[in-house]
């Protein structure tokens, strides 16, 4: 808004030095040497599209002020805040830690508070809860930033459209004058048509700058949220392990180890109906074949 007003003031002072007298011409500008136009007069000379451009400048200023104050309230001293929360959690003072989070403002304290409320969950589910809370906070941080980016793209187009329509009107008036228009009068009509282009750029440039500035602030807060969530989960997990609470992550072989430790091999047993295994001769006997007329093989003791 301020940049837009400064641009129109510059145009009004430039118009004071414009030569020529448009009283004998149908061109939209009628100035005498030394005359200064005010903001309202410049708006009138620029045509009807100057008013949408002015509205865009007002919206840009309002969004920037609102987002700047909101991000400023959301910023906290993250290292000191997390250090205090960690000390309370290690001492088992969960209620005091929740009260500390409620005293703060912004997405960082909300993420930490939700993590403390879900401290009894396993680490995997706890991380999922913190991630969901962080995702819910992100749309609040991005509120109205899309409008600001849209104004930065639309404002120059509105200025270009106003310039084109102004040039068309100027040449129509030149045609009606029968070609007897002087160079000064033609220049007056041209600069009047260019007012909207300058006004559109005067709105688009600060809109882009404000958008990039606010996005950088938002990314800083998102980084603080991620850091707060990771450190809080780490503290809660370590406290649960020392206190005998929820284990970190059960190993796949943890359920198999007790069964393997209690297993003892036993000798096989045979029922009465099952045949007993065949007996073998002692190891110190070696069968020796007999002559053909003998009735079999007799083992010889060695």
Q: Are the C-beta atoms of residues 29 and 192 closer than 8 Å to each other? A: yes
Phi and psi angles of residue 301, each rounded to the nearest 5 degrees, phi first? -70, 135
Higher pLDDT, 273 or 208: 208
| Structure-block tokens of residue 251 | 């190993």
Distances (CA, A) of 229 to 126, 137, 186, 297: 10, 13, 66, 87
Indicate if the pLDDT at residue 125 is higher than 60.
yes
Task: Please name the residues in contact with 98: beta carbons below 8 A apart, sequence gap of 6 or more.
Answer: 113, 116, 117
In this prediction, residues 142-159 reach a mean pLDDT of 94
Indicate if the pLDDT at residue 61 is higher than 90.
yes
Determine the Cα–Cα distance for residues 224 and 216; give it in Å rounded to an integer. Answer: 13
Task: Please name the residues in contact with 169: beta carbons below 8 A apart, sequence gap of 6 or more.
Answer: 28, 189, 193
Average pLDDT, the chain: 75
Q: What is the predicted pLDDT for the residue at 218? A: 94
Q: Are the C-beta atoms of residues 153 and 241 closer than 8 Å to each other? A: no
- pTM of the full predicted structure? 0.67
pLDDT-based confidence at 35, cuts 50/70/90?
A: low
Model pLDDT for residues 79-89, shown as the tens digit of each residue: 899 999 999 98
Indicate if the pLDDT at residue 67 is higher than 80.
yes
Q: What is the predicted pLDDT for the residue at 18? A: 47
Determine the Cα–Cα distance for residues 238 and 243; give it in Å rounded to an integer. Answer: 9
What distance separates the 2 farthest-apart alpha carbons in the chain? 157
Where does residue 181 rank: exposed (0-12), middle (13-18), buried (19+ CB within 10 A)? Answer: buried
Determine the Cα–Cα distance for residues 294 and 301; give it in Å rounded to an integer. Answer: 18
In this prediction, residues 249-272 reach a mean pLDDT of 47
Q: Angle at which helices 195-242 and 107-117 pack, to 10 degrees?
A: 30
Indicate if the pLDDT at residue 202 is higher than 90.
yes
Higher pLDDT, 73 or 289: 73
Per-residue buried b or exposed e for 215-232, using 16+ beta carbons within 10 Å of the residue's own CB: bebbeebbebbeebbebb
- Residue spans of the domains in the chain: they are 48-247
Determine the Cα–Cα distance for residues 111 and 99; give it in Å rounded to an integer. Answer: 14
Q: What is the predicted pLDDT for the residue at 256? A: 37
Share of the chain above pLDDT 90, in %: 29
Q: Give the bridge partners for 285, in sequence order.
A: 301
Least confident of 28-32, 92-96, 124-128, 218-222: 28-32
Share of the chain above pLDDT 70, in %: 65
In this prediction, residues 224-235 reach a mean pLDDT of 90
Higher pLDDT, 254 or 52: 52
Determine the Cα–Cα distance for residues 36 and 13; give it in Å rounded to an integer. Answer: 6
Indicate if the pLDDT at residue 71 is higher than 60.
yes
Q: What is the predicted pLDDT for the residue at 186? A: 73
| Structure-block tokens of residue 292 | 């053909």
């Amino acid at each position: 808004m301020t940049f837009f007003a400064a641009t129109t003031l510059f145009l009004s002072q430039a118009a004071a030095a414009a030569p020529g007298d448009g009283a004998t011409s149908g061109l939209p500008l009628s100035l005498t040497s030394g005359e200064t136009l005010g903001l309202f007069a410049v708006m009138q000379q620029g045509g009807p599209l100057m008013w949408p451009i002015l509205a865009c400048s007002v919206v840009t200023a309002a969004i920037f002020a609102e987002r700047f104050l909101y991000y400023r309230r959301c910023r906290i001293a993250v290292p000191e805040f997390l250090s205090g929360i960690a000390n309370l959690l290690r001492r088992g003072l969960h209620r005091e830690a929740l009260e500390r989070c409620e005293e703060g403002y912004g997405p960082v304290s909300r993420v930490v508070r939700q993590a403390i409320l879900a401290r009894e969950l396993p680490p995997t589910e706890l991380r999922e809860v913190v991630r969901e809370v962080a995702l819910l906070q992100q749309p609040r941080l991005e509120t109205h930033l899309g409008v600001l980016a849209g104004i930065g793209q639309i404002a120059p187009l509105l200025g270009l459209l106003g310039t084109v329509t102004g040039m068309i009107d100027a040449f129509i008036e030149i045609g009606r004058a029968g070609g007897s228009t002087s160079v000064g009068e033609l220049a007056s009509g041209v600069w009047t048509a260019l007012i909207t282009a300058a006004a559109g750029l005067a709105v688009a440039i600060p809109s882009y700058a404000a958008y990039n500035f606010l996005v950088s602030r938002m990314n800083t807060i998102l980084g603080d949220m991620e850091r707060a969530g990771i450190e809080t989960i780490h503290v809660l997990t370590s406290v649960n392990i020392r206190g005998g609470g929820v284990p970190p992550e059960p190993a796949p072989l943890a359920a198999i180890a007790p069964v393997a430790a209690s297993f003892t091999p036993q000798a096989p047993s045979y029922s009465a109906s099952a045949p007993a295994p065949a007996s073998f001769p002692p190891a110190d006997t070696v069968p020796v074949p007999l002559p053909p007329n003998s009735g079999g093989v007799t083992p010889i003791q060695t």
